[in-house]
C-alpha cells in the first residue's frame, strides 16, 4: 500500500523509537538514481578511465569526497543506521576478484543519470557514452555491468543473485531530465517541456514495474524538490530572457502530482508491494522558510567559493556545516545528515501510529536535499547530476 509522510508537529525522536525493529526488517538495500544517491560509482568509473591518461576523476576529490558532497551522503547514513553495506556496482565491474558477493544489496546509482537510458555526459564524452548509465534503457545501447543501465543490470544479476523480497529499493531520479530540457534538449529525443513530466514519471513507474515483477516488494520513492530554487537556477536566470526558475518549478509541480497519482494506481494494482513516498518537496519548502531551525546560516550560496561550470571554484568556505549547499546544486554532508535522519523517520512512520511524524522544520531539510539532488556534473554546461 502506498503511504505518504504527512507534515505534523511531532519531534523527530518520536519517529525513530522503533528504528531497530525496522532496521531488522530490511535485509538488503538496492539503490537506483542519480547523484543524490550515488555513493561513489561515477567517481570510481571515471577514476579508472581517466587516471591512465592523466585526467582527474569526477567529482574532483578532494575537496569532494568521491561523491557530490564533502562527506557521506544521506543514503550512506541510512544504510549505516539500518546495519547494511550495499556494494557499489562499479566495484563489481572494476574489482570482481576482491569484491565479496553483494549479500546486502547493490548501489546502482550514477551521478548524471536521467530517468531513461541517457546520461548527461553522453554528449560530452561520446567515446565513453555507453559506459555511463541512466535509470533504465529504452534503446538498449549501454553495456553497464554487461547489461542495459541500472534496472537492466539488476534484472540481469537477478539470474544469479536471487531477488530479496525483504530488501528496501530506493529510487530517486528525474531532476536531470528537467535540466536537460534547457541544456541539451536533443538528449530528450524531441520531447517538449509539456510532455516531459508525463514521460519522466512513466519511466519511474516502468522501473518500479520491472523491479516488482522480479520479486522486489519494498520501495522508497523520493519526489523532486523545486529545483528552480537552487543557486544554479539563479545563474541560469541571468543568462536567459525566460524565467527559468519558475519554469523549472512548474515542471516539478507537474512531476510530483503525476508521480503521486501514478504511484497510487501502481499500489492498487500491486497490493503485495509496499511503496513508501518520501516527500522531499515539502521538506525543501520548510527549510527555505526556516533555515536557522536546521542549523544553517546560508541556504542560498554554495560553500565552494565562486563555483562555476566544470568544477571551477576559488576555494572552500570556512564553515561548511553552516551551508546547505556544497556546490551550486548538491548539499553539504551536514545537510545530508539531516536528510538521512528524516528518511529514517519516514521509514519508521510506516510501522508506527500516525502520531509518529516529523515536525515541519525537520521535513524542510529533507526537501532541500532533494533539490540539491539534481546534482552537478558540469563539464561544458551547467548541468545537474
| Residue 311 in domain | yes
pLDDT of residue 133: 79
What angle in degrees, to the nearest 10, is found between the helix axes of 360-372 and 280-289?
110
**Can you give the pLDDT at residue 237?**
54
Q: What is the model's pLDDT at position 287?
A: 84
How many structural domains compose the chain? 1
The pLDDT of residue 273 is 95
Domain of residue 47, CATH code: 3.40.50.1110
Rounded to 5 degrees, φ, ψ at 31 are -130, 130
384 located within any domain? no
pLDDT by 10s per residue, the chain, length 385: 433 333 333 334 444 444 444 555 899 999 999 999 999 999 999 999 888 999 999 999 999 999 999 999 999 999 999 999 999 999 988 888 898 889 999 999 999 999 987 776 655 555 555 567 788 754 344 445 545 589 988 998 888 889 999 999 999 999 999 988 877 777 777 888 899 999 999 999 999 999 999 999 999 999 998 988 888 777 665 566 678 889 999 999 999 999 999 999 999 999 999 999 999 888 888 888 899 999 999 999 999 999 988 899 999 999 999 999 999 889 999 999 988 988 999 998 764 433 333 343 343 333 333 333 333 332 222 333 3
Report the interhelical angle of 175-183 vs 244-269 (nearest 10°): 140
User: Which residues 6+ apart lie within 8 Å of 98 measured at CB?
Assistant: none
Helical (H) or strand (E) element with 265: helix 244-269
What's the pLDDT score for residue 280?
87
What residue has cell string 562499479? 90
Name, in order, each residue with C-beta under 8 angstroms of 156's C-beta and a sequence gap of 6 or more: 145, 146, 147
pLDDT of residue 350: 62
Q: Domain for residue 261, yes or no?
A: yes
Closest listed residue to residue 180, CA positions, set 123, 257, 240: 123
In a domain, 382, yes or no: no
In a domain, 346, yes or no: yes
How many CB atoms are closer than 10 A to CB 285?
20
Q: What is the DSSP string of 152-180?
A: HHHHHHTTTS---TTEEEEEE--HHHHHH
Mind listing the pLDDT tens digit for each residue in 208-249? Answer: 999 999 999 999 999 998 988 888 777 665 566 678 889 999
Domain of residue 293: give its range.
Answer: 3-372
Q: Judge contact between 335 and 366, C-beta under 8 A.
A: no
Q: In this predicted structure, what is the pLDDT of residue 235? A: 66
Q: Copy the grid coordinates of residue 115.
A: 530517468
Residue 324's pLDDT is 93
Amino acid at each position: 500500500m502506498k503511504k505518504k509522510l504527512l507534515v505534523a508537529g511531532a519531534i523527530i525522536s518520536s519517529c525513530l523509537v522503533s528504528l531497530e525493529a525496522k532496521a531488522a526488517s530490511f535485509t538488503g538495500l538496492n539503490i537506483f538514481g542519480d547523484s543524490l544517491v550515488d555513493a561513489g560509482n561515477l567517481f570510481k568509473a571515471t577514476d579508472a578511465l581517466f587516471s591512465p591518461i592523466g585526467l582527474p576523476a569526477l567529482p574532483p576529490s578532494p575537496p569532494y569526497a568521491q561523491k557530490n558532497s564533502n562527506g557521506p551522503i544521506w543514503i550512506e547514513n541510512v544504510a549505516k543506521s539500518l546495519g547494511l553495506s550495499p556494494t557499489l556496482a562499479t566495484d563489481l565491474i572494476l574489482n570482481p576478484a576482491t569484491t565479496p558477493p553483494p549479500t546486502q544489496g547493490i548501489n546502482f546509482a550514477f551521478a548524471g543519470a536521467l530517468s531513461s537510458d541517457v546520461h548527461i555526459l553522453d554528449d560530452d564524452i561520446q567515446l565513453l557514452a555507453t559506459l555511463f548509465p541512466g535509470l533504465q534503457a529504452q534503446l538498449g545501447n549501454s553495456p553497464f555491468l554487461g547489461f542495459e543501465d541500472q534496472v537492466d543490470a539488476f534484472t540481469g544479476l537477478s539470474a544469479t543473485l536471487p531477488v530479496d523480497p525483504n530488501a528496501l529499493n530506493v529510487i530517486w531520479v528525474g531532476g536531470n531530465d528537467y535540466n536537460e530540457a534547457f541544456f541539451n534538449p536533443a538528449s530528450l529525443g524531441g520531447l517538449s517541456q509539456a510532455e516531459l513530466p508525463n514521460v519522466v514519471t512513466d519511466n519511474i513507474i516502468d522501473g518500479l514495474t520491472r523491479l516488482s515483477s522480479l520479486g522486489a516488494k519494498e520501495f522508497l520513492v523520493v519526489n523532486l524538490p523545486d529545483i528552480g530554487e537552487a543557486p544554479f537556477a539563479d545563474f541560469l536566470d541571468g543568462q536567459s530572457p525566460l524565467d527559468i526558475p519558475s519554469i523549472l518549478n512548474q515542471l516539478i509541480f507537474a512531476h510530483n502530482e503525476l508521480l503521486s497519482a501514478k504511484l497510487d494506481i501502481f499500489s492498487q494494482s500491486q497490493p503485495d508491494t509496499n511503496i513508501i513516498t518520501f516527500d522531499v518537496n515539502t521538506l525543501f519548502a520548510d527549510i527555505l522558510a526556516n533555515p536557522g531551525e536546521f542549523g544553517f546560516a546560508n541556504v542560498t550560496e554554495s560553500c565552494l567559493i565562486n563555483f562555476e561550470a566544470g568544477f571551477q571554484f576559488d576555494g572552500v568556505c570556512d564553515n561548511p556545516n553552516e551551508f546547505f549547499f556544497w556546490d551550486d546544486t548538491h548539499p553539504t554532508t551536514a545537510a545530508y545528515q539531516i536528510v538521512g535522519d528524516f528518511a529514517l523517520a519516514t521509514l519508521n512512520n510506516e510501522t508506527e501510529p500516525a502520531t509518529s511524524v516529523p515536525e515541519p522544520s525537520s521535513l524542510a531539510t529533507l526537501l532541500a536535499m532533494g533539490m540539491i539532488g539534481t546534482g552537478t556534473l558540469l563539464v561544458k554546461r551547467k548541468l545537474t547530476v
